[in-house]
Amino acid sequence: MAPALAWPEKIDLSLHRSMLDIGGGSGAHCIGAVTRWPKLNATVFDMASVCEVAREIAAEHGLTGRISTHVGDLWKSTLPEADLHFYGMIFHDWPPDKCRFLAGKSFAALPGGGRIIIHEMLFNDDRTGPWAVAAMNITMLLWCEGQQYSGSQLSEMLRQAGFEKIEVIPTFGYWSIVTGVKP
């Protein structure tokens, strides 16, 4: 929960009204965002069984009026309307071509002025560390198709999709956000 509460303090989301947490799991990042930004509502976009858990957790936090769920498949489903797309520890599950697909899908779905945020543990730009990220990278390489990326790698994926005003912002421990805005 700590990283989910930290990143919303590092970026101004006052212009955004609806956050879509793609592959949102428990909804922890939605809780962090709506708690910090009172005009923001959020939706967890995930599988049905995961959405059920996210609804329970939102209720435990008294946020059912501000956090909803939407069942879908991030590869096949149309993304619900939102002006902010959030991916928390999702890109590291996938190889670069699939990450570029997700960035492009968000770019196509977001309105002008819409923002994408990718929350990950990032390698430094030469991918030599930090050690904890390198250790996580070994796990990702063994466990799934993905890997840990550097801020410059994710920034380039966003740039290729068409995003502008791209920033890499450290948030908590080894976590950072990479964000861009659709012109």
What does DSSP assign to residue 32? H
Write down the residue that tokens 């928390």 correspond to: 88
Give the global pTM: 0.94
Q: Please state whether beta strands 115-121 and 175-181 pair in parallel, antiparallel, or not at all (unpaired).
A: antiparallel
Domains and CATH numbers, the chain: 2-181 (3.40.50.150)
Residues β-bridged to residue 41: 18
Map tokens 């989910």 to a residue: 4
In this predicted structure, what is the pLDDT of residue 137?
63
Question: Is 61 labeled as catalytic in the residue annotation?
Answer: no
Residue among 16, 29, 85, 92 flagged as catalytic: 92
Query: What is the full per-residue pLDDT of the chain (183 aa) written as tens digits?
Result: 888 999 999 999 999 999 999 999 999 999 999 999 999 999 999 999 999 999 999 999 999 999 999 999 999 999 999 999 999 999 989 999 999 999 999 999 999 999 999 999 897 888 887 777 777 767 777 777 888 899 999 999 999 999 999 999 999 988 999 999 999
* 71 DSSP assignment: E
The predicted pLDDT at position 128 comes to 82
The DSSP output letter for 150 is B
What residues have CB less than 8 Å from 97, skipping those under 6 apart? none
